[in-house]
Amino acid sequence: MNNLITAKFGGTSLADASQIKKAAEIIKSNPARKFVVASAPGKRFSDDIKITDLLYKCHSQAKNGEDFSGTLAKISERYAGIIKELGVDFDIKNEIEIIRKNLEAGTTPDYPASRGEYINSKIIAKFLGWTFVDAAEIIFFDENGFLDENKTFTTAGEKLKSLENAVIPGFYGSMPDGKIKTFSRGGSDVTGSIIARSVSADLYENWTDVSGMLSADPRIVKDPKVIEYITYTELRELSYMGASVLHEDAVFPVRKAGIPINIRNTNKPDDNGTLIAASLPDNIEKRAVTGIAGRKGFSSIRVDKSMMNGETGFGAKLLYIFARNGIPFEHCPTGIDTISVVVNSELFDQKREIILREIKSELDPDFITIEKNLAAIAVVGEGMISAKGMAARVFDALAKAGVNIRMIDQGSDELNIIVGIDEGNYEKALNALYSGMIA
C-alpha cells in the first residue's frame, strides 16, 4: 500500500484543458496522491510549440531589442483558453504583465522560463481546489548553482507536511539572493524527485505520454516490450547508452531514500507502466536481460606493443594521455600485447594529432590503429550474473545477422555486455539482439 504519493505530470500531460482534466481525474482517484508537481503546457500536436520554448523566445527577443509582444500574446492566449475551458477564476493578464515588465527590465532567461510551470501550477491548484506552493520558497540552490539538499529537503518537507495537499511547479527553485534558477531542460522530473524525497513519499509517480520505458529504441525495433520492472542501476546503464525516459538527475534524490519511481501514461492510466526500484520485487521472476540500448559515434584507438604485459604502468600512461587532453574514455578492452581506448569520435577528432604524437613519443608502440564509425550496444540486465551462456547468445544473435563484432566489453559488475560494431550495422544489430535476447 502506498500511503503517500508524489505525482509529477509532464508537459504533454498538461498541454491543454482536456489533458489537465485527465490528470485531475488521475489525481483524485487515489487520496494518496497528495503532492502534485506540474510542468508547463507542452506540445498538443507534433509541430506545436511548448510554452517553455515560447518563454525562452520572449527572452531572446527582448535581449536583442526585438518586439516580443506577439510571442507573449501567444502564451497569454494559450493559458486563457485553458482557464476558460476549465472554468477557473484566474487573472492571466496580470501574470503576463508581470512577465512583460521583468523582460523589459532585462531579466535572466531562467525567470521567464520558469513562469510556464508557475502559471500552470496555479491554474491546476485552483481547478483541484488545492494549495499552490511556489517552488522558489522550498527548493534552494547554493552560490555555485548546486541544489542545497539539506535546506531544500528540510524546508520543503516541513512546509508540505503541514498541508493537506499541494501543487508545486516543476523546473525551478531559488538562488541565495532570491533570484529564480531553473534546472536543465526537462527538469520538472528533478523537482518531482526532490518533492518525493522531502515528504518521504512511498512512491514517486512520473506521468507522461508513454506507458513506461521500452526495452529497445522504438525508432529502430518494431513494438519493443515495455519494461515492467527495472533497477536504478540498470536504468543508469541504459540511460547512459542512450535510452531516455527521465531527466538524468531525477533518479538521485529518490534513489538515496529508496523511493521507487513509477513511469505512467496519462492517456492510458490503466497501464502499469515501469517501476524503477533498488531491487526487483521478490515475486518477480528474474529476467536475464532487461533492455538493450546503444549509441553511434565512437572511435577506438588500439595500441600494439610486444611484451606490453611486462611493462608496468603502460595502460595508466596511455589513459593519462587521454585524460590530460580532456578526453574521457568510454571503454578500455585489453589483450596481452594490445590495449584499446574507445572514445567519443567528435571529442577525439579535435585532439587527434596531439594524442597520437604523445602516444608515439611516450609509449613507443609497434602500431597504433584507429577505427572510426563504431557503434556500441549494451545488453543490460541484473540477471545476467547468474544466467549462463548470455555472452554466447549475444554473439550467436549477431553472427546469425552477419554482424562483425569489433569490440567486446563486459562490465565488472556483470550487469551488461557491450559490443562495438560498425555504425552501418547498428540497426541490424539492435534488431538481432532484441529478437535473440528479449522478444
Applying CB under 6 A, which residues contact ligand ASP?
Answer: 11, 39-40, 50, 52, 116, 170-171, 185-189
Nearest CB to ligand ASP, comparing residues 11 and 420: 11
Q: Strands 261-265, 203-208: parallel, antiparallel or unpaired by DSSP? A: parallel
Nearest CB to ligand ASP, comparing residues 264 and 305: 264
Nearest CB to ligand ASP, comparing residues 39 and 416: 39
3 state DSSP class of 268: coil
Do residues 168 and 38 lie in contact, with contact meaning Cβ atoms separated by under 8 Å?
Answer: yes
Give CB contacts under 8 A, 24+ apart, made by 81-86. Answer: 81/16, 81/17, 82/16, 82/17, 82/20, 82/41, 82/120, 82/123, 83/123, 84/17, 85/16, 85/17, 85/18, 86/17, 86/20, 86/21, 86/123, 86/127
Nearest CB to ligand ASP, comparing residues 39 and 152: 39
Concatenate the DSSP letters of all residues of 305-322 into one string: -TTGGGSTTHHHHHHHHH
Q: C-beta of 176: minimal distance to ligand ASP in Å?
A: 23
Q: C-beta of 239: minimal distance to ligand ASP in Å?
A: 16
Nearest CB to ligand ASP, comparing residues 188 and 416: 188
Q: C-beta of 34: minimal distance to ligand ASP in Å?
A: 21
Q: C-beta of 63: minimal distance to ligand ASP in Å?
A: 19
3 state DSSP class of 406: coil
Do residues 199 and 259 lie in contact, with contact meaning Cβ atoms separated by under 8 Å?
Answer: no
User: Any residues with CB less than 8 A from the CB of 323 and at least 6 apart, and which?
Assistant: none
Nearest CB to ligand ASP, comparing residues 188 and 431: 188
Cα–Cα distances in angstroms (integers) from residue 212 to residues 137, 197, 243, 267, 273, in the given order: 32, 21, 12, 12, 4
Q: C-beta of 338: minimal distance to ligand ASP in Å?
A: 44
Q: Cell 515560447 sits at which residue?
A: 54
Q: Strands 416-422, 367-380: parallel, antiparallel or unpaired by DSSP? A: antiparallel
Do residues 167 and 223 lie in contact, with contact meaning Cβ atoms separated by under 8 Å?
Answer: no
Nearest CB to ligand ASP, comparing residues 19 and 52: 52
Q: C-beta of 163: minimal distance to ligand ASP in Å?
A: 23
Q: C-beta of 234: minimal distance to ligand ASP in Å?
A: 23
Q: C-beta of 184: minimal distance to ligand ASP in Å?
A: 8
Nearest CB to ligand ASP, comparing residues 116 and 212: 116
Residue at shortest CB range from ligand ASP: 188
